[in-house]
Amino acid sequence: MTIVNRATAESTLGQTGWLAQQPDTFRAEILRRSMLLHFAPGEVVYRFGDALGGIYGLVSGTITVDTAPPNATPRLFHLAIPGFWTGEGCFLTRQPRRIELRAVVETTMMHLPLEAMDQMAAREPQMTRAIAQLLMINVDILLRTIHDLQKPNVARRIASVLQRATWTGEHPIPLSQTELCTMANASRKQVNAALQRFAKEGWVTNTYRLITIKDVAALRRFAAGDDGE
């Protein structure tokens, strides 16, 4: 395992995602109060229904995000990439966790405890506004997911899932075909056929539990199409 040091972690989160959008002094205060945490493959960050806690920012690696309505079994709906932050619900509502986070590979995250968030909010009005901005970023992810799932063409739904999980070209996505089936609301046969088509076009390569996007722009164009192929 390659351990990500604190300087690298702060640089990564300071350049991408929600934290990069915050004022310099405010961003520095969040990083100063945050803890750097490492998670092994398969390790749970927190579960659906867990007690109150703070926010987490993904520095390196990949995490799955599972959720469900009350009394339903949580299902995978998002594969997070570096720069992703979540956990804001506890701060805003004082209710238990509504999602589950789990590391897929060796993963490093930054954690700002709820107590530190409350202390910052008591002195700095910017805190509540910033957390509301984080909430809306995550609402946008949810809206994008719903929009993608409403595409009638299954191959475009599958392409949309892969496109959402890609943060740079040539970056392997640690996603099994079963997980891809769940995220795209597709059968294994449909996923196999789509991946074969994408590989033939030169857009992706596919190995066991790893899908690498070779042509991000082409895959994005196909995912955005609406011709009903």
Q: Are residues 133 and 22 in the same domain?
A: yes
Q: Are residues 97 and 110 in the same domain?
A: yes
Beta-carbon contacts of 133 under 8 Å, excluding residues fewer than 6 positions away, are 18, 21
| CA–CA dist 46, 26 (Å, integer) | 26
Residue 229 lies in a domain: no
Question: What SS3 state is found at 83?
Answer: coil
Q: Are residues 76 and 138 in the same domain?
A: yes
Amino acid identity of residue 154, one-letter, is V
What is the CB neighbour count within 10 angstroms for residue 139? 10
Q: Are residues 11 and 29 in the same domain?
A: yes
Task: Check pLDDT > 60 for residue 95.
Answer: yes
pLDDT at 68: 87
Domain end point (choices 96, 118, 148) = 148
Q: Considering only CA atoms, which of 205, 144, 196 is closest in space to residue 172? A: 205
Tell the burial category of 186 from Cβ atoms under 10 Å away from its Cβ (0-12, 13-18, 19+). buried
Residue 1 lies in a domain: no
Looking at the chain, the whole-number percentage of residues with pLDDT higher than 70 is 95
| CA–CA dist 169, 191 (Å, integer) | 21
Residue 160 lies in a domain: yes
As given in the structure block, the two tokens for residue 130 are 């910033």
Task: Check pLDDT > 90 for residue 114.
Answer: yes
Q: Are residues 44 and 84 in the same domain?
A: yes
Task: Check pLDDT > 70 for residue 167.
Answer: no
Reported as a single tens digit per residue, the pLDDT across 62-89 is 999 998 888 888 899 899 989 999 999 9
Task: Check pLDDT > 60 for residue 170.
Answer: no
Q: Are residues 74 and 181 in the same domain?
A: no
Q: Which domain holds residue 57?
A: 6-148
| CA–CA dist 174, 212 (Å, integer) | 9
Q: Are residues 205 and 94 in the same domain?
A: no
Reported as a single tens digit per residue, the pLDDT across 28-49 is 999 999 999 999 999 999 999 9
Reported as a single tens digit per residue, the pLDDT across 180-196 is 999 999 999 999 999 99
Residue 195 lies in a domain: yes
Given a contact cutoff of 8 angstroms between Cβ atoms, the answer to whether 194 and 154 are in contact is: yes
Beta-carbon contacts of 7 under 8 Å, excluding residues fewer than 6 positions away, are none
- 118 to each of 12, 96, 140, how far by Cα in Å? 25, 16, 25
As given in the structure block, the two tokens for residue 202 are 């030169």
Q: Which is more confidently placed, 165 or 57? A: 57
How, if at all, do strands 85-86 and 210-213 pair? unpaired
| CA–CA dist 227, 220 (Å, integer) | 14
As given in the structure block, the two tokens for residue 80 are 């997070």
Q: Considering only CA atoms, which of 56, 86, 199, 67 is closest in space to residue 145? A: 67
Domain end point (choices 105, 124, 148) = 148
Task: For residue 208, name the pLDDT band (cuts at 50, 70, 90).
Answer: confident
Q: Are residues 219 and 128 in the same domain?
A: no
Taking phi first (over 0 means left), then psi (-120 to 50 degrees means alpha), and beta for anything else, what does residue 8 get?
Answer: alpha
> Residue 183 belongs to a domain with what CATH number?
1.10.10.10
| pTM beyond cutoff 0.85 | yes
> Residue 130 belongs to a domain with what CATH number?
2.60.120.10
Domain end point (choices 148, 168, 183) = 148
Q: Are residues 78 and 105 in the same domain?
A: yes
